Amino acid sequence: MENRYDLSGSLLHWYDYNKRLLPWRENKDPYRIWISEIMLQQTRVEAVKPYFDRFMEALPTVYDLAEVEDDRLMKLWEGLGYYNRARNLKAAAQTIVQEYGGQLPADYDKLLSLKGIGMYTAGAIGSIAFELQVPAVDGNVLRVLARLWGDDSDILKDKTKKDMGRRIMEFMPEDRPGDFNQALIELGATVCVPNGKPLCDQCPWDTVCRAYKEDLIDKLPVKTPKKARKIEHKTVFLLECNDQIAIHKRGDKGLLAGLWEFPNEDKKMDAEDIKEWMTAHHMEDAKVEAAGKGKHIFSHVEWHMEGVKISLKTPIESKDYVWVLKKELENTYALPSAFEIFRKIL
């Protein structure tokens, strides 16, 4: 059995010399830590950095976040995906202002009660910002611990996450719980990596890691195979008139709820279908041309899209879309990255 120093001491020593310099690590501001943790869900560290800097410049306090207009918030989040994360941030900020005087609560259960904050995020904020003795078990940590202990439990099950969280608590030092949690996450992100061969020769735990000693690296961690994604076909219409473009707002529920998009139909359309669509929308005389193809992968569905560019002499009024200046797509209207390939064509 590993002793306490073998794990926590060697890990923290490694972390002190190898941790990455990240903008949200500059201080222990709970607000900055919270925003970074939400942004880092399903997004790589390098991709998050510019978003984090821009977000902090625009909304430096929880009060700014609580009061921001939805369209402005979506624009700041544009490209990060999983837009409900941003909506939950705003809802939680409003709770923090109304119930906690604008300060994130230094209490694990109260953090957990905030919208969009689950066990991992509450553990990360609690330990890093407030030095609470709580685990922060994400995918990186689960991979590291499964290999360390030779544990073949399914890491996608909540029971496994809770069991590993309880077990690692035995090794958490009282004086540095936040650094300990960050070190575990860092180890998984940079050494015991998710895809490809782990850098075991750089690991502080190579002498105690069962997967390393027993040649189980390729077999751990164990995950339930994901279901195959559903494929959906779309025809995307780029309706333009000089320097204007038509955009449509999605409904309040479902995928990409409340975001702007180019008008589209949920099917693959041939030339005859497109002609009928144009007639139905009073665009019979407009110039039409193909406008590229795109594919976008969500967690459970895959969009296969074909673009159609329709150039009009005058904007046609419709309850289905609004006309905006093309340059407003850059600074005002949040367009999901699914449509980025078509924005580039404009």
Pull the structure tokens for residue 136: 């922060």
Task: State how far the Cα of 9 lies from the Cα of 107, in Å rounded to an integer.
Answer: 26
CA atoms within 13 A on the CB side of 204: 21
Which residues, in sequence order, are CB contacts of 159 under 8 Å at separation 6+? 153
> Which alpha helices (DSSP H) does 170-255 contain, by range?
177-190, 210-213
Three-state DSSP class for residue 25: helix
Does 37 participate in catalysis according to the annotation? yes
Q: For residue 167, how many other CB atoms are within 10 A of its CB?
A: 14
Task: State how far the Cα of 274 lies from the Cα of 256, in Å rounded to an integer.
Answer: 25
The dihedral through the CA atoms of 7, 22, 68, 324 has a sign that is negative
Catalytic residue of the set 2, 37, 46, 186: 37
Pairing of strands 230-241, 301-311: parallel
Long-range contacts: 242-245, Cβ < 8 Å, 24+? 243/325, 243/326, 243/327, 244/315, 244/323, 244/324, 244/325, 244/326, 245/323, 245/324, 245/325, 245/326, 245/329, 245/346
Catalytic (active-site) positions: 37
